[in-house]
A and B are shown apart, each in its own frame.
Chain A
Amino acid sequence: MTIRSILIANRGEIAVRIIRAAKALGIRTVQVHSAADADMLAVKLADEAVDIGPPAAAKSYLNVEKIIEAAKAAGVDAIHPGYGFLSENAEFARAVVDAGMIFIGPSADAISLLGDKVAARSVAAKAGVPTVPGSDGRVDDIALARAIIEETGFPAMIKAAAGGGGRGIRIVDTMEDFERQFPQAAAEAKAAFGDGGLYIEKVITKARHVEVQVLGDGENAVHCFERECSLQRRRQKVWEEAPSCRLPDDIRKALCESAVALVKSVGYKGAGTVEYLYDEDVGEFYFIEVNTRIQVEHPVTEMVTGIDLVQEMIRVAGGERLSVTQGDIALSGHAIECRINAEDSAKGFMPAPGTVTKLVEPEGAGIRFDTFLYEGYTVPPFYDSLLGKLIVHAENREDCLKKLKTALSGLKIEGLVTTIPLHLALCRDDAVAKGAFHTRFLEPWLETHFNPQTSSPAKVYEEASS
């Protein structure tokens, strides 16, 4: 079946991105929105728009019934879930199919299999993908857990099988610590997630976050090389690159091939990302998880491979074979993406929604700004703080950083506070220039190398978010 119309079950910049891809394919677009999003850019660009409820995401963008109802009423062939919200919700994927439409993503079964951390780990192991040393699945018995931890060593993590997004994790440094924390962790997981199942993983202290973009059509699968996303704050990515500049070629090859083997083993259909930790000191990589959706940072891959990942997702969902073979996909140059958030870095990164009074986007070859902003638009406070993504592509990383500096200086968003100053500071940093960072680099760097005043008017404790 060919897809002639799609409903976009998302908002913000990714909704705009999906509409642009659909328009390029000549597909009719229907945009759902909450009452707080009636004037967002995706609503203006789409052929049709449907109000699906109040501002709270639980009553709009997470409301499966309302979205299916809107899709049926609009008579669309397919639904694109974007990222976050319902994108990795197997029940939603199933409901879309049950209602006679196409879910643009993998099957509900693949989503639930790969979404379960313990199950995904064993899929990876079976496909020959190295996993972080630890328990082979759940450990309910403390004696067995003790034996495993003696093998892996400290520090180690006790993780809730039903956890995720950084929740349900305890780090233990000694056996004594472990003996005390294990029963507590089980009780806590039972209370928090309704499932007391635990597993154990070694802590890789200085790791890079490297992830492989994959595409599958249900039979064949290819990779589009890797992204490096080690610059994170509170487990949220801040800056992403493609390729990972310090990855040796033989490791890149093994890493990318392992991701393809993993998704092929489950007959994966759509775009996906296989995430790894890479331990530079020992040259080993370890599987962490699979994200069964398009990712925020997908544009860096598009810049270095020339593949339109969102268009490819739509075509594959419509029943076409992949338009590229592995041999067609080559790396060209280097790309960096900066996430521009509505946050005040001088006030502990406090979210700062507001009205855009002036917007000047940098232009030029190899510069792309994915956003949903326009002059006069008021960014609502109900959703996440991502305003846009500045992506820059050049022949090599050094030129890319130079071009990024110029592009960041040319990007003017007036009327609200943004994280542009943080990115400019990162551009000027020597360690960043050398690519010498890991997942725990940015937070201490913010303390020692970044200079905002620290006077948050309110105590901030962030929700574990997607």
Chain B
Amino acid sequence: MSKLEIKSPLPGTFYRKPSPDAASFKEDGAAVTEKETIGLIEVMKSFHEISAGVAGANITFLVDDAEPVIAGQVLAEVEA
């Protein structure tokens, strides 16, 4: 079993939820498929969906909700 990284393609602010009152796209420990959305990046007032890009189990987020990130930063890891 290896760990796969999900990196942010953009710099900006990372959100784990579609809106402040909504549930997280993915809870810690959930499994994800390649096309599933794991969060949003807000860059210069526009929002971009971030898909996992990899499939795996037991997702671990390394960035909190509403935290600034740089391009290439690892947002989460999954087990594959």
Contact = CB atoms under 8 A, between A and B. Distances in A.
Contacts of A459: 48-49
Contacts, number: 56
A36 B70 CA distance: 12
B11 interface: yes
How would you classify the secondary structure of chain A's contact residues: helix, strand, loop or mixed? loop
Contacts of A342: 44
B45 A463 contact: yes
Contact of A353 (B11, B47, B50, B66): B11
A26 interface: no
Interface stretch (A141-149, A377-385, A420-428, A438-446): A377-385
A125 interface: no
Given A351-B44, A384-B45, A458 B11 contact: no
A457 interface: yes
A2 interface: no
Contacts of A385: 44-45
B68 to A, nearest CB: 5
A324 interface: no
A177 interface: no
Nearest to B70: A381
B9 A458 contact: yes
Given A36-B68, A56-B66, A381 B11 contact: yes
Interface string A16-48: 000000000000000000001000000000000
A465 interface: yes
A465 B45 CA distance: 7
B44 A384 contact: yes
A458 B50 contact: yes
Contacts of A382: 12-13, 44, 68
A460 B12 contact: no
B10 A381 contact: yes
Contacts of B46: 350-351, 460-463
Contacts of A56: 13, 66, 68
B43 interface: yes
Interface in B39-78: 41-50, 66, 68
Contacts of A55: 13, 68
Contacts of B50: 458
Contacts of B49: 458-459
A258 to B, nearest CB: 33
B63 to A, nearest CB: 14
A463 B48 CA distance: 11
A457 B9 contact: yes
Nearest to A456: B48
A382 B42 CA distance: 8
B23 to A, nearest CB: 18
Interface in B1-50: 9-13, 41-50
Contacts of A463: 42, 45-47
A55 B46 CA distance: 16
A459 B49 CA distance: 6
Nearest to B45: A465
10 contacts: A56-B66, A351-B44, A351-B46, A382-B12, A382-B68, A457-B9, A458-B48, A458-B49, A459-B48, A463-B46
Interface of B: 9-13, 41-50, 66, 68
Interface of A: 36, 55-56, 342-343, 350-351, 353, 381-385, 457-463, 465
| 8 residue pairs, one from A and one from B, having the closest CB atoms | A351-B44, A458-B48, A385-B44, A381-B12, A381-B11, A381-B43, A465-B45, A462-B46
